[in-house]
Amino acid sequence: MYLKSIQMHGFKSFANKIVLDFHNGITGIVGPNGSGKSNVSDAVRWVLGEQSAKQLRGSSMQDVIFSGTENRKPLSYAYVAITMDNSDHVLDIDFEEVTVARRVYRSGESEYLLNGSACRLKDVHELFYDTGIGKEGYSIIGQGQIEKILNGRPEERRELFDEAAGIVKYKRRKATAQKKLETERDNLVRINDILSELERQVGPLERQSEKAKTYLKKKEELKSYDVNMFLLEIGQIDTQLKETEENCQIAGAQLKDTAEKHETIKGQYEKIEAAMEAAAEDIEAVRQQLNQAVITKSRLEGDVNVLTEQVKAAKLSDAHFKSRVAEIEADKSEKARQKEAYETEEASLAKQLLHITACRKGAEGELKALQAARRNMDESIKQRQEKLLALLNQKAQLQAKQQKFDTLTEQANIQKAQLNKRLLKRKSEESDLDFLLEEQAAALKKIQGSIVELKQQEQQLVDRQSEWERKLSDVNKAISEHIAGYHKAASRLESLRNIAERYDGYGNSIRRVMEQKDTEPGILGVVSDLIKVEEKYETAIETALGGSIQNIVTEDEQTAKRLIAYLKKNRFGRATFLPLTSVSGKGGIKHPQALNETGVIGLAHTLVQNDSRYDGVLAQLLGRVVVVDTIDHAAALARKYHYSLSIVTLEGESLRPGGSMTGGAFKNNSNLLGRNREIEDLTRQVAKIKETLNQQTARKDEILTAQALLADDLDVIREGLQQNTSRKIP
């Protein structure tokens, strides 16, 4: 075995790839000081697994990578490979040539290669055990190494002797085996601890077993007590049935009395109604007479007025109408007497009208009282009827149960009497045995038919039970899926909330400022937290905002000054603040007609939802940005208006005044605006899943209840089947 070649690239002073071939006749490398002779031996030591940068005459492992010169850039990695002839198979590997390589990057990543395949450092060390080759072997003697060997401790010199003697491999294996034995010994100690703990638990488990046996025994006793309790409840139900029948009789008597009172009140009410109708007719007749008297009075007053005028005219011609005056005076006196009579009659009619009105009011009051009494009586009758119906229903149920029990008892007694009669008859008359046998055969056939019918019912119930079990399985599966979805959504929601609370994705200065929000009431929030955007506009709005999405909105300039001083004092970095008292943009662009162009959606600040107090801030940030659907329409719009507009597209491309264009693929979809929307969507989703889960749980309870009822029916049928089977006649 001998060294055939060394290949180096980027190692220390070897910037270019270089290969040193060691063929027959070469015994060493000579050269002036600084030519890199020692770097060759360092390369061999390094590729064999040297981990100490000090042994390689450096301060860190990155010092082995070519660091560059005034005329040449530094390299990003160092690579060394040595090739050895293994024709004599000194190395325990089935190759005639063995190439060991090592590569290290400035990022700290490192790898080893054995004949081009990746391997471990341990594999390289084991390959060169007992060959004298290795980073600690005696085949590489560097500067000052001889003095170190001569002046070293006996333990250090012994390592060289062990290497030469070929026992290093076995010593390493021994150390590994001892380490494994120590580990197994620790595992045995832990197993003994577990066994001792389990032995201590045997006694309590035995006591628990005795308690379980006692529990099962008590459970059987409880079952017998339940049967006795059921029989006692039947007796109590019979007593309650008698009491209920008595109550029904009392209620029937009360209902009869109430009906009689109702008929009496109804007759009185009809009489009062007839009297009221007659009074109303009298009132109407008096009212007509009064109206007629008023008309007559008015007519007579008109006549008096006419006569008075005639008297006045007669006075003017007294000589001509003296005789006429006497007649008119007489007529006037007569008319006056008639007037007084009519007035007296009017007063009398008015008194009658007042009396009739008072009577009518009294009758109306009495009618209202009777109507109220009638309503109360109707309500009482209705309540008593409902109570009576409930009692009748209860009585019917109890009677049905009693009738069922009576029927069963009667059937049992009849069957018992028949059997006794047949037994006596069989003992007395042997000649009737054939007839009795036929009857028993018929009874057996009937019982067998009942058994078949009960088995069919049992099978139907078993099928229904299987169907319910399938439904229960489906419901359980749906509940499990909803629970999994709930936990997944809730976990994602909690994670997003934690991220939002910690302001992950924001700059360090932003997080530091938002930590002061509880103590500094003037902080209103980050721009991304103060707006809501539809999902289709998120990319466009975030592109339009750019770095402004992390700006902090404050109440006033004083708050912003205090926070800037806080950042300066603690050296937390820089942040941009937007005081509401100083930032008050109005939005708008130089060419409003551009908003009517093809593909234009609108100004960016009109596509966000926010509190009205932040209108000025958003108009300042987004009021001059036009949102367009595609980049083609955006480019056409920019050309038409001579590249004077700020334009963004729905996919995130940006066109700035002056003609610059920005675009490409985003690294991920977790933007700041989308995070807030996702939190809201997940909150609604979690609530919906919880509601669905409650519905599924209620459905499960219904299925379990139906299964319990079905199991009870199945037990009853099986009990009847068992009874009929036990009644078979041999």
pLDDT in tens, 20-34: 888 777 777 888 887
Cα(692)–Cα(83) distance, integer angstroms: 70
Cα(450)–Cα(240) distance, integer angstroms: 35
Answer yes or no: do 141 and 242 share one domain.
no
pLDDT score of 724: 60
Answer yes or no: do 159 and 216 share one domain.
no
**Residue 140, Cβ density class (10 Å: 0-12 exposed, 13-18 middle, ≥19 buried):** middle
Answer yes or no: do 21 and 120 share one domain.
yes
Q: Which of 353, 383, 418 is the last residue of a domain?
A: 418
Answer yes or no: do 82 and 135 share one domain.
yes
Answer yes or no: do 266 and 414 share one domain.
yes
Answer yes or no: do 155 and 258 share one domain.
no
Provide the token pair at 321.
Answer: 């109408």
Does 289 map to a domain? yes
Cβ-proximal residues to 11 (8 Å cutoff; 6+ apart), any chain: 39, 43, 46, 64, 65, 66, 78, 79, 80
- Output the average pLDDT for the chain: 77
pLDDT score of 102: 92
| Amino acid in the structure at residue 490 | A
Q: Which of 133, 166, 199 is the last residue of a domain?
A: 166
593 compared with 327, residue with greater pLDDT: 593
Mean pLDDT of 213-224: 87
Residue 37, sorted as left (phi over 0), alpha (psi -120 to 50) or beta, turns out to be alpha
Query: Is there a contact between 658 and 643 (Cβ–Cβ < 8 Å)?
Result: yes
Does 435 map to a domain? no
Does 89 map to a domain? yes
Round to the nearest angstrom and report the end-to-end CA distance of the chain. Answer: 102
Cα(351)–Cα(325) distance, integer angstroms: 39
**Residue 505, Cβ density class (10 Å: 0-12 exposed, 13-18 middle, ≥19 buried):** middle
Predicted TM-score (pTM) of the model is: 0.35
What is the pLDDT confidence band of residue 668, given thresholds at 50, 70 and 90? very low
Phi, psi of 83 (to 5 degrees): -115, 130
Three-class DSSP category at 509: helix
pLDDT score of 169: 66
* Closest to 545 in 3D by CA, of 620, 470, 477: 620
Instruction: Report whether pLDDT(256) > 50.
Output: yes
Mean pLDDT of 243-247: 82
Cα(96)–Cα(4) distance, integer angstroms: 12
**Size of the chain, expressed as the number of residues it contains:** 730
Check which CATH number belongs to the domain holding 260 and give it. Answer: 1.10.287.2610
Q: Which residue has the tokens 């009519």?
A: 342
Cβ-proximal residues to 51 (8 Å cutoff; 6+ apart), any chain: none
Three-class DSSP category at 601: strand
Cα(284)–Cα(291) distance, integer angstroms: 11
Three-class DSSP category at 724: helix
Provide the token pair at 29.
Answer: 């490398």
Strand-pairing partners, residue 85, are 2, 97
Query: Is there a contact between 112 and 124 (Cβ–Cβ < 8 Å)?
Result: yes
Instruction: Report whether pLDDT(176) > 60.
Output: yes
pLDDT, tens only, 285-321: 777 777 787 787 777 777 777 777 766 765 666 656 5
**What percent of the chain is helix, strand and coil (3-state, nearest 5)?**
70, 10, 20
37 compared with 563, residue with greater pLDDT: 563
Cα(682)–Cα(486) distance, integer angstroms: 10
The count of structural domains within the chain is 3
Does 267 map to a domain? yes
Q: Which of 617, 647, 666 is the last residue of a domain?
A: 666
What is the pLDDT confidence band of residue 103, given thresholds at 50, 70 and 90? very high
Answer yes or no: do 160 and 14 share one domain.
yes
Query: Is there a contact between 560 and 554 (Cβ–Cβ < 8 Å)?
Result: yes
Query: Is there a contact between 281 and 302 (Cβ–Cβ < 8 Å)?
Result: no
Check which CATH number belongs to the domain holding 656 and give it. Answer: 1.20.1060.20
Does 485 map to a domain? no
Answer yes or no: do 243 and 365 share one domain.
yes
Look at 105-114, 257-266, 439-448 and tell me which has the smallest mean pLDDT: 439-448
Cβ density class 679-706: b for 16+ within 10 Å, e for less: eeebeebbeebeeebeebeebbeebeee
Mean pLDDT of 495-519: 74
Does 695 map to a domain? no
Cβ-proximal residues to 706 (8 Å cutoff; 6+ apart), any chain: 468
Answer yes or no: do 162 and 214 share one domain.
no
Work out the number of other CB atoms within 10 angstroms of the CB of residue 262.
Answer: 15
What is the pLDDT confidence band of residue 426, given thresholds at 50, 70 and 90? low
Provide the token pair at 398.
Answer: 């109890």
Provide the token pair at 552.
Answer: 């902090």
Answer yes or no: do 142 and 248 share one domain.
no
Instruction: Report whether pLDDT(730) > 50.
Output: no
pLDDT, tens only, 569-617: 888 888 888 888 888 777 678 888 888 888 889 888 888 888 888 888 8
What DSSP assignment string belongs to 636-673?
HHHHHTTT-SEEEETTS-EE-TTS-EE----S-S--HH
Answer yes or no: do 215 and 162 share one domain.
no
Does 721 map to a domain? no
Cα(123)–Cα(114) distance, integer angstroms: 9
Could you list the residue range(s) of the whole structural domain that residue 569 is in?
A: 503-666
Cα(730)–Cα(392) distance, integer angstroms: 47
Does 395 map to a domain? yes
Query: Is there a contact between 579 and 554 (Cβ–Cβ < 8 Å)?
Result: yes
Check which CATH number belongs to the domain holding 100 and give it. Answer: 3.40.50.300
pLDDT, tens only, 675-720: 777 777 788 888 888 888 788 788 777 777 776 776 776 677 666 6
Answer yes or no: do 123 and 223 share one domain.
no
